Amino acid sequence: MEGRVALPRVGAVSAGGLESLPWLVVDAAGSEVEAVSRYLRDLALGDASPATGRSYAHDLLRWFRLLWLVDVGWEQATEAEAAAMVGWLRSAPNPQRKRAGGVVNARTGKPTLAAGYAPSTIAHALTVVHGFYEYHRHYGRGPVINPVPQNPDRRTRLAHRSPLEPTVPVRRGRLRPKVRSRAPRAIPDGLWEELFAQLRCVRDHALPACFVSSGRERLSCSGCAWKTSTGQRARSG
């Protein structure tokens, strides 16, 4: 599904008002989507934060909007609908992006996000939908095959890998985008001085100095460098 087709702006994420269900999804008639509420309640009982529940609710609202558009019940969803969701996310504009991409914030060093949905957003949406169907499959509900495909070999190889071991290259599951690792950003000298100027006691000065000095003596980040343990600034090369 290309992004030229707009998903219907029906349904909403609403406050659940309960500790066991802080957020829920309602349909166009304002009725609670019970299948989503069951999953979100299970997340809350598993000690997920309300912010996580809200994030998952918005991903599932997007999924149900697509199902409502193609007139497919959630119990009959297949990989075709998951592929349609990925195709839409890869080509549709993101309404939360207000500025053009490619511009780097001179203060923070963070680039402005692109106009569309980021690969990490697509990957998160697939993870949420997969978890939703795995939950219901555990109780004998929904389709027999999860609409979001997974690579079981990848999960097996990465399950108990020691962080000291080299990363084993494994294939991504179908539909999964390539999510690149984010390069850490350095704190410019001016911001570092501004940070320390806001700290009012020796203890508060010692904490960030300890955090920085506990790393490498010189840690380069995107062409810049952190301060060293002696408090001297390591100039970017």
Answer yes or no: do 16 and 118 share one domain. yes
37: Cβ–Cβ under 8 A, 6 or more apart, which residues? 16, 21, 24, 25
Whether residue 152 is found in the same domain as residue 189: no
Task: List CB contacts of 46: < 8 A, sequence separation 6 or more.
Answer: none
- Mention every residue, 6+ apart, whose C-beta is less than 8 A from residue 14: 23, 24, 25, 26
Q: For position 66, what pLDDT does the model report?
A: 95
Helix ranges, the chain (H)? 34-45, 50-70, 79-91, 119-138, 152-158, 189-198, 202-213
> Which residues of the chain register pLDDT less than 50?
216-237
Helix (H, G, I), strand (E, B) or coil at 122: helix
pLDDT at 220: 40
Q: Does the model's pTM come out above 0.85?
A: no
CA distances 116 to 9, 112, 148, 218, Å, are 18, 12, 22, 36
Residue 69 is predicted with a pLDDT of 93
Residues 211 and 94 in one domain: no
CB atoms within 10 A of CB 9: 8
What's residue 2's pLDDT?
55
Closest listed residue to residue 63, CA positions, set 110, 160, 133: 133
Domain shared by 154 and 187, yes or no: no
Burial class of residue 167 (count of CB atoms within 10 Å of its CB; 0-12, 13-18, 19+): exposed
pLDDT at 23: 95
Beta bridge pairs of residue 173: none
Under a CB-based contact definition with an 8 Å cutoff, are residues 205 and 199 in contact?
yes
pLDDT of residue 104: 65
- In angstroms, the CA 180 to CA 1 distance is 24
Q: Are residues 153 and 211 in the same domain?
A: no
At residue 153, the pLDDT reads 67
For residue 125, what pLDDT is reported? 95
Q: Please indicate, yes or no, whether residues 27 and 141 belong to a single structural domain of this protein.
A: yes
Radius of gyration of the chain (CA): 22
How high is the pLDDT of residue 35?
Answer: 97
- What pLDDT sits at residue 204? 86
pLDDT of residue 98: 61
Tell me the residue range of the domain where 128 lies: 12-158
Question: Which residue, 124, 158, 192, sits at the end of a domain?
Answer: 158
Task: Give, to the nearest 10 degrees, the angle between helix 202-213 and helix 189-198.
Answer: 150
CA distance 147 to 67: 12
Cα–Cα distance measured from residue 127 to residue 56, given in angstroms and rounded to the nearest whole number: 10
Q: 117 phi and psi, to 5 degrees?
A: -85, 135
Within-domain flag for 122:
yes
- Same domain? For 144 and 33 the reply is yes
The pair of structure tokens assigned to 36 is: 């989503």
Both 93 and 32 in one domain: the answer is: yes
pLDDT of residue 185: 67
